[in-house]
Structure formats: C-alpha cells, structure tokens
Chain A
Amino acid sequence: MTDDKQRYLEIHDVYKAYGSKVILDNIDLKVDKGEFCSLVGPSGCGKSTLLRLILGEESPTSGKLILDGETIGHPDVNRGVIFQRYSLFPHLSVMENVTLGLRLGGRTDAKSLSDKDIRDEAMVLLKKVRLDKHENKYPHQLSGGMQQRVAIAQALIMKPKILMMDEPFGALDPDTREDMQLSLLELWEEEQMTIFFITHDMEEAAFLGTRLLALSQYYTDDRGRNYENRGSKIAVDRKLPQVASPTNVKHSPEFRDLIEEIREQAFNPEYLQHAKEFNLSHPNAFVSLTQEEAGIKR
C-alpha cells in the first residue's frame, strides 16, 4: 500500500520521546489536500503530541514532517490551530480577535488591504459562524460555543494550508456540539480546507471525518512481548463514508459496527493486535515498520 506520490502532509518515521519514554513510535502518515482527518485514541496516547509536532510547537526526536513540500518548522501562518480553550485573546473584542492576523500583516496578501477590506472580510466570516451581531463583545461575554466559533473565524481568515483542532468541542454541551459539528462541515466544504481533528468522541470522529485515524499504544510487534518502551502507533487508518447528520451516525448499524471495531482495536488494553495486522485500509495509508518491529532477520 506504499504510495510514493507526493502528498500534502507527509510524516515519515516520526518518533517522539519525553526523556526515555517513547510516546510516538515510528509514525507514518500521508494526507491529501482537502482531507478531513479525525484522530482518536486512548487518553494520553499522544494525540496532542502528534498535533504539536505538525504544528511545530515541538520537534520530533527523529523523523521528518513535511507540509506542502516544505519541512515543518516553528508555528507559522501556514498552519491554523484551535485548541479546546484559550484560543482567543481575552483583551480583544470579537472583531479585533478575528482581524488580528490581517491587521498585524500575517497573511502575505494582507499588506495591501485597507481597514475596511479587513473588516469586510472578517464580517463575511463572522456571518458564516453566525456571530455578526456580536462583533463588539469580549470573549468573556460569549458562551463556550460562541467562543469556539470566533476561534474558527480567527483561524480561517488566515487561509491556512491545514487547520489543526485539538478537541475543539470537548468543553461544549451535546446540543451546541452538534451545532458546531454541522457548522464546521459546512465551512470545510465551502473553503476546501485540510483539517486535522482530534477528539475523544468516536461518533464525532466518524461523523466529521473523511478519514479516521486511531492512535494506540495497545499493540504488539516482533520486538517481543517483554519490550517495554513501546510508544503509540497509528493502529487504524480507514476511509469514512459521508453521512448527512450526526444522528445518522448514532443510529446506523454500519457506523455502530465500525465504532465497536475501532474501540476493540485501539482502546482495549487487553486486545494486542500485531503491528502487521493493523487495519490500514485507507488508500493513502502507508507504514514502514522497522526490521525489528516486523521481525525480519538480517
């Protein structure tokens, strides 16, 4: 299944260790432009760590990360990000938060924009996230869901190559959450974005993504059962069918089976799949196990 064609985001043989503890263990991933990747995995398996690597907040212990042909460096305008919280600047109003990236000249074409152009552009986005009536409020005057919508507008105005989201809806109540999921999908379709979306909610992952990735530390390989320092690998990489609403996901038997299967493969500490047996059925999936992992004798 190895594909040598250049992809938008490429991750090759990436390891990340904190001290001697390996967190990410030989990660390989290729993502196409416009893909919506959902990433799930047990708590503490290293999802946020992988996001920080792609974002450039941290560098890998070894391995390569490439975005659109360029090696990934410190965070910059090419990669937008939305965290679960603290994405907004509390001392700026909604409008100021959204226009900040343009006013401070972060986007290359923004230097020629007048104040009015900038406001107009922000207004278009604020309308899309249905916050055009709240432009003068401060973040603390908004609900959690509204704050996250501002954060989305704030990130989108930069037209990033890839939008990283780390449990963006994790702190919201179920109704608001469903609402946000629908808005996000709409925006994704309109803006043709590439999205990397972390969640611990399987249904959310299955509903939103075109591609489902599961990161897991519960597996085995030919480094032997007693090998202690295994980090997480991508244990599931599948294409997802598109559905119309989050409720469809919850009620379709097809999705229920899929979710059950992934729970078993990635979330069950008792169920140790061999790294060679991972369900990596997505057309872009590829792995390069080391000789030790794959048990190839030299």
Chain B
Amino acid sequence: MKSPLIWGVNARPTVWLRWVLLALPFVLLIAVYLYASDIRLTDNPADKLLPSFSQMADAVKTMAFTEDKRTGSYLLWSDTYASLKRILIGTLLAALVGLWLGLNNGLFPGMDATGNPFITFISMIPPLAILPILFISFGVDELAKVMLIFLGVFPLISRDMRLAVKQIPHEQITKAATLGISQLQLAYRIILPQIMPRLIETVRLSLGSAWLFLIAAEAIAADQGLGYRIFLVRRYLAMDIILPYVLWITFLGFMMDWFLRWALSYFYPWYNKGGKND
C-alpha cells in the first residue's frame, strides 16, 4: 500500500520532505521581502520602509554591540532584561494566584460559590481599558506594567485550573477519602500535582496575551523595554531596528514556549496518558 506524500488524510511525508515543507513558508516570506525591498531601494536608496538585510545587520550591531552614548548600556540587552523581568514576574504571579484560586474553586463548592462568579466577572473586564487606572494607582514604574500582565492573564489561568480540577474523576475524590486522606492533603497532594501539567499548558497559551499586555504597557509609559524601543524608533520610521526587534521578541516567545513544553514532558511523563484503563 502506497501512501501519498503530501495530499490527503493518508499522507505520510518523508523526513526530508517534512523539512522542506517546514521551510517553505519561511523561504517564501524572505524571498518576497527581499524582492520588494530591492525594488524600493533601487528606486530610492533613502527608503526606510523595507530595509535590506545589511542595513538591519548594521542596526543590530549598533543596538546590541555598541554602548549607547546617552545611557552607557547596550540597548538591546537592557531592553530585553527589562521586558523579560516584567513578563516573567507578571506571568509567574498570575500562574501562582490562578493555580491557587482555581484549585480551591474547583474542589470546594463553598469557595466556588463566591470565587467563581467573581473571577468570571473580573475576566470580562478588558485589561487595556483599565490601564490608565493602573498607571494612576500604581505609578508609571514597574508595578503598573506587572499588574497589567497579571490582571490580564490570571483570570484565564484560574478558570482553566478550575475546569482541570472539575475534570478529575469524582471517583478519585471518593477514593482518597476511603484511604483516610484529609481534605487539605487531597487538595495539595492529590489534586495539585495532577493539575500542574495543565498549568504549564495554560501558561504556554497565555504567554501570547502576556506579551501583548507587556508591549502595550511599555508603549505607553516606560524608559526601557522591547516594546518601548519599538514605539520610540517608530517616530523615525526606523524599520531597520523595528524588524529585528520583532524577530527577537518572537524568538524569545518561542524559547519560552519550548522551555515549557520541555518541562511538561520532563516532569510529567504520565500526563496525557490518561490514567485511564485503556
């Protein structure tokens, strides 16, 4: 029986073909860009909209490997450090708080009765709409930005954790009681370890919104950060800086995602294997 290489549900692309298919959209994108950039630059060598690769490389050299005269720092790295600090603290806080709330709401009906409606309500508030409130109440320093990320991300994590707890078969809760396990032990030794992998998955999915909130906050009020820089140089139409910055952010996001995926399979090998009898 011969399976088709590409088309249809029975397709079985070979290993090298997989690599080709993977590279295809990237190669296309780069080719189209180079072509368009080349046309514009021959037309007008001072054009800033689609810089050539060598212009971008020069820009990266200035940003990453040349000391900034005004601040004495290497801008790309200080921006990265500032942004990563904000996004990591914000997301970590959201993960911890979301985990704790979701665990308790999912397991204890009494807590759920107040917790769930309230968190559902909070999750409906568009975080960006309250950004001015955050700046007013927490100042324009780090706290407001971290708070925006936190508030933007934790309701979803909390609600998802609650659902994860609810998905644990009720048999397990009865079973735990027949083994003489107390309710606190049930929460922290039986339920918690089982929803940890789901937390990792949820955080993975939430990172996209976390970046959105980070860049939005930095665009409005900051003195360093990746988002701040992009919106700052936008005034000079410095696409040669903006494009590498965007690629860098994408790369950072990709690495975080990759790390979480690795952690999931390394620490929770039993996850998604069910614990079911089949």
A residues in contact (CB < 8 Å) with B:
55, 57, 74-77, 79-81, 83-91, 100-101, 104-107, 138-140, 144, 147-148, 154-155, 158, 160, 171
Contact = CB atoms under 8 A, between A and B. Distances in A.
A104 B274 contact: no
Given A86-B171, A171-B277, 7 more contacts: A55-B178, A57-B174, A86-B169, A89-B175, A107-B180, A138-B270, A138-B273
Given A140-B273, A144-B277, A86 B172 contact: yes
Interface string B167-199: 001011011011111100100011001100000
B13 to A, nearest CB: 29
A38 to B, nearest CB: 21
Contact of B175 (A74, A84, A87, A147): A87
26 contacts: A55-B178, A81-B178, A85-B171, A85-B276, A86-B175, A86-B276, A87-B171, A89-B172, A89-B194, A90-B270, A90-B274, A91-B193, A101-B180, A104-B179, A104-B182, A104-B189, A107-B180, A138-B273, A139-B275, A140-B274, A140-B276, A144-B277, A148-B277, A154-B179, A158-B180, A160-B178
9 cross-chain pairs, A with B, having the tightest CB-CB distances, nearest first: A106-B180, A90-B275, A140-B273, A101-B179, A75-B177, A86-B169, A86-B171, A77-B180, A85-B277
B8 interface: no
Could you say which interface size class chain B belongs to? 20 to 34
B269 interface: yes
B43 interface: no
Most A Cβ at <10 Å: residue of B169, B179, B182, B275 = B179
Most B Cβ at <10 Å: residue of A75, A77, A86, A107 = A86
Contacts of A89: 172, 175, 190, 194, 275
Nearest to B180: A106
B174 A55 contact: yes
A59 to B, nearest CB: 14
Contact of A106 (B171, B179, B273, B278): B179
A104 B185 contact: yes
B179 A77 contact: yes
A101 B270 contact: no
Nearest to A91: B193
Given A86-B276, A144-B277, A171-B278, A80 B172 contact: no
B194 A155 contact: no
A98 to B, nearest CB: 10
Contact of B275 (A100, A140, A144): A140
Nearest to B182: A104
Contacts of A84: 277
Given A90-B273, A91-B193, A147-B277, A100 B179 contact: yes
